[in-house]
Amino acid sequence: MQLEIINKERLREEFFLNTFKKIVFKDNLTNRDRFLFKEWVKNYNPNLIFFEHYRKKEILFEIVKSVKSNELVINENIRWLYASKIDYLIYNFYFYKVMEYSGTNTKGDKVHGLSLYKSLSIFTDRKQAPYNPKDKKDWQNNYWTGGRKEYVNHVIGYDFGMDFDSDNILDSYSDAKKVFDFLNKFNIRFRINTSGSKGFHIVIPYEEFSDLIGKFNLDKTVKACKGLMIDLVKHLKLKKVDHHIYSPTRYLKLPYSIDARNNRVILPLSDKDFLDFKNNSEKYMDINYCKLNNLGFRGEFINKPHNPNGFKELIEYLDKNIK
């Protein structure tokens, strides 16, 4: 039986919303599915490293777990997306050509595929932006960037994120190690990820310092995070951390996603991994280290219990020791 040849866009739609889902959920594939896959590869030249990574349900599940109610951002300029279910994530892959894009990112780097990010702001009852470009532009003006900025009313928390970056990853490691040791001194709950290139991201969840904020206010919380970062820079003599990043709309790379610049995974590191990183950096930068059998043992905040008292003790210590 000859398989129907369809136009390219219908091919993409059928492949992602039918065949790709079957691949992810390990359903049986038909001859039609195999045909669609071959035509998709031939017509769109996708990044097959992306495909092999994102075809794994376990990977997509960890990404969805990480995003939670935060905002999914694609390529730094496609914003306000949902990814609270694997189906939603796959639809975003389809609509924004996450695996197929070839060109430059917003900073002018050559990429094959699009990188994913996660907002520091935590939302509740947030509206989904329209997918139609014109409708989305109108929605953005009314909801996000216009005078109303209604999105502020839906933010219920803001994680404290730190971005360590330099031309040499060992310089980034040196600064991140200082913060790593300092946070562990107070038994503070945090996660540390590779950034995909030459840096690290450390994130402390909002719940660890929410008592110090009191009634939540987004601007107040952002200013508190910026002030704490400045204190850490002074006290620990940090040189490779960006302390100018803090804003209500800030985001960082999404754990378990792929950096489109180099096909490296944004990998959550255990304490053991991080301490070993200096000796085996290539091991932890290699996409093959992100194995399915250890994903559940990594998670967002690996083996670190909720401990808001530790954060209070850290603040008190800084207040006493910063001149």
* Ordered structural domains, the chain, with CATH: 45-321 (3.30.70.3300)
Which of the pair, 136 or 36, is modelled with greater confidence? 36
Query: Coil, helix or strand for 111?
Result: strand
Which single residue is written with the structure tokens 């660890």? Answer: 208
Whether 41 shows a pLDDT value over 60: the answer reads yes
Residue range 254-266: mean pLDDT, rounded: 94
Instruction: Name which of 16-20, 93-97, 125-129, 212-216 the model is least confident about.
Output: 125-129
Q: What is the pLDDT of residue 144?
A: 76
Structure tokens at 71: 């905002």
Whether 1 shows a pLDDT value over 50: the answer reads no
Residue range 150-169: mean pLDDT, rounded: 91
With 0.75 as the threshold, say if the pTM is over it: yes
Contact 143, 127 (CB under 8 A): yes
Residue range 133-157: mean pLDDT, rounded: 82
87, with CB counted inside 10 A (0-12, 13-18, 19+), is middle
Residue range 36-53: mean pLDDT, rounded: 96
Residue range 268-283: mean pLDDT, rounded: 91
Whether 3 shows a pLDDT value over 60: the answer reads no
Q: What is the pLDDT of residue 117?
A: 97
Given pLDDT bands bounded at 50, 70 and 90, which one contains residue 302? confident
What 305-309 contacts at long range (C-beta under 8 Å, 24+ apart), as own/partner pairs, is 305/189, 306/189, 306/207, 306/208, 307/187, 307/188, 307/189, 307/208, 308/207, 308/208, 308/209, 308/210, 308/211
Rg (CA), the chain: 21
Question: Amino acid letter at 223?
Answer: K
State CA 294 to chain mean position distance. Answer: 19
If we measure between CA atoms, which residue out of 81, 101, 16, 113 comes closest to residue 55? 16
Given pLDDT bands bounded at 50, 70 and 90, which one contains residue 4? low
In angstroms, what CA-CA distances link 48 with 19, 249, 263, 313? 16, 31, 10, 48
Instruction: Name which of 64-78, 120-134, 172-186, 287-301 the model is least confident about.
Output: 287-301
Q: What is the pLDDT of residue 133?
A: 86
